[in-house]
Amino acid sequence: MTETQVNSGTLYIVATPIGNLGDISQRAIDILSQVDIIACEDTRHTQRLLSAFAIKNKTMSLHDHNERQRQDQIAAMLQEGKSIALVSDAGTPLISDPGFHLVRHCRQLGLSVSPIPGACAAIAALSAAGLPTDRFTFEGFLPSKSGARQAKLTELNEETRTMVFYDAPRRAIDTIGDIVKTLGGERYVVIARELTKTFETIHSDTAENLLAWLAKDPNQLKGEMVLILEGHKVVKDEIPSQVIETLKLLVDELPPKKACAIAANIYGVKKNALYEIALELKKV
Ligand code: SAM
């Protein structure tokens, strides 16, 4: 394996482990060792990671409160030919972490931005959850206040894709309680807690059963957690038969997405509600 070469004038977006240090990639180590400076959310936190890999390099802070000021400074350094890595406290930068404004700014200036992929809690959880992964939505953190959380969940009631959320385990009982209230107790939920760490737990059940399980075991309310929610299941009988008949004709001639959009337009139904049916019809 050849050592990665760092290109001058490039901003590297470097993923770091979400718990288990063994998940760092060789490319991440090479880049973090060789860039001119590492921009990180919390310099002390990142110093611990760098020490674990005997990486000696300079760091500068880039967090939610100084990102807008830092972006000009970093862009100027890149224009001078410096190479810079961006890391967050854990996982992939920009995914519910700072960096979006910086990356957009650099791309608008035509500067080179290159990802060094690695761990991401949402994707790790999804890969082991056992819920459909062909289509999914990442919803980030749900609101911390119950009223706003219930409003958000109600808005997602008819979402047919698998939904991925970040949440604090200490809020898990309230969040799942709100899922029961807004979407019903039968909705399937997966809790992926402490991924890649000693107490990794992946547990799935209906929202109602999960509530009882959480209430019995306070250990499940510790650490870090990804919550995955099954999408709304469209029962064929809920869709008028003439819509299904039209959809059947359309999927014979068109890709499922296009067929759904046309049928949804003609009959004024939601196209998301038709997609699973269209896929089934396509198979027949
Ligand atoms: N950028 C990160 C990523 O790529 O996953 C996410 C950062 S976000 C501020 C932190 C949230 O990610 C936590 O509150 C939790 O929901 C989730 N998370 C991070 N590490 C985790 C882990 N080891 N197990 C489960 N969830 C984790």
Q: 268: alpha, beta or left, given left = phi > 0 and alpha = psi -120 to 50?
A: left
Whether 154 is in a domain gets the answer yes
Whether 4 is in a domain gets the answer no
Task: Of 83-92, 123-132, 235-244, give the lowest mean pLDDT range.
Answer: 235-244
Supply the mean pLDDT for the chain.
Answer: 94
- Which residues form the pocket of ligand 1, taking CB atoms under 6 Å from any ligand atom? 18-19, 88, 90-92, 95-97, 120-122, 166-167, 192-197, 224-226
DSSP character at residue 69 = H
Task: From 66, 59, 68, select the one nearest 33 (Cα to Cα).
Answer: 59
168 alpha carbon – ligand 1 mean position (Å): 9
Are residues 219 and 269 part of one domain?
A: no
pLDDT confidence tier of residue 276, bands split at 50, 70 and 90:
confident
Are residues 77 and 147 part of one domain?
A: no
Q: For 246, phi and psi rounded to 5 degrees?
A: -65, -45
Spatial separation of the C-alpha atoms in residues 178 and 1, rounded to whole Å: 50
Task: Of 23-37, 74-88, 209-223, 234-248, give the lowest mean pLDDT range.
Answer: 234-248
Does residue 100 have a pLDDT over 70?
yes
Are residues 215 and 115 part of one domain?
A: no
Are residues 112 and 155 part of one domain?
A: no
Are residues 166 and 133 part of one domain?
A: yes
Pocket test for ligand 1, best of 191, 225, 227 (most atoms within 8 A of CB): 225
119 alpha carbon – ligand 1 mean position (Å): 10
Amino acid 239: pLDDT:
82
Spatial separation of the C-alpha atoms in residues 20 and 246, rounded to whole Å: 51
233 alpha carbon – ligand 1 mean position (Å): 28
196 alpha carbon – ligand 1 mean position (Å): 11
Amino acid 281: pLDDT:
85
Mapped to the 3 state alphabet, what secondary structure does 177-239 carry?
HHHHHHHCCCCEEEEEECCCCCCCEEEEEEHHHHHHHHHHCHHHHCCCEEEEECCCCCCHHHC
Whether 5 is in a domain gets the answer no
| Residue in this structure with the two tokens 């500068």, named with its chain if needed | 60
Amino acid 234: pLDDT:
75
Give the ligand 1 atom nearest the CA of 95.
1
Q: Whose CA is nearest to atom 26 of ligand 1?
A: 225
Pocket test for ligand 1, best of 14, 62, 141, 166 (most atoms within 8 A of CB): 166
Question: Percentage of the chain with pLDDT > 70?
Answer: 98
Are residues 165 and 73 part of one domain?
A: no
67 alpha carbon – ligand 1 mean position (Å): 20
Q: For 131, phi and psi rounded to 5 degrees?
A: -105, 160
Are residues 191 and 142 part of one domain?
A: yes
Which residues lie across from 228 on neighbouring strands? 164, 190
Whether 68 is in a domain gets the answer yes
pLDDT confidence tier of residue 48, bands split at 50, 70 and 90:
very high
Mean pLDDT over residues 77-93, rounded?
A: 98
Q: For 194, phi and psi rounded to 5 degrees?
A: 55, 40
Are residues 71 and 42 part of one domain?
A: yes
Does residue 141 have a pLDDT over 90?
yes
Task: From 3, 2, 13, select the one nearest 112 (Cα to Cα).
Answer: 13
**Domain edge (last residue) among 119, 152, 174:** 119
Q: Whose CA is nearest to atom 8 of ligand 1?
A: 96
Does residue 147 have a pLDDT over 70?
yes
Are residues 112 and 19 part of one domain?
A: yes
Number of domains in the chain: 3
96 alpha carbon – ligand 1 mean position (Å): 8
Residue 148 belongs to what domain range? 122-229
Are residues 126 and 112 part of one domain?
A: no
Does residue 17 have a pLDDT over 80?
yes
Task: Of 2-11, 127-136, 181-190, give the lowest mean pLDDT range.
Answer: 2-11
Spatial separation of the C-alpha atoms in residues 126 and 190, rounded to whole Å: 9
Give residue-wise pLDDT tens across range 195-240.
999 999 999 999 999 999 999 998 999 999 999 999 998 776 678 8
Spatial separation of the C-alpha atoms in residues 203 and 190, rounded to whole Å: 6
The alpha carbon dihedral of 9, 74, 12, 105 has a sign of: negative
Spatial separation of the C-alpha atoms in residues 172 and 175, rounded to whole Å: 5
Q: What is the CATH number of the domain that holds 80?
A: 3.40.1010.10
Amino acid 280: pLDDT:
83
Q: What is the CATH number of the domain that holds 140?
A: 3.30.950.10
**Domain edge (last residue) among 208, 229, 250:** 229
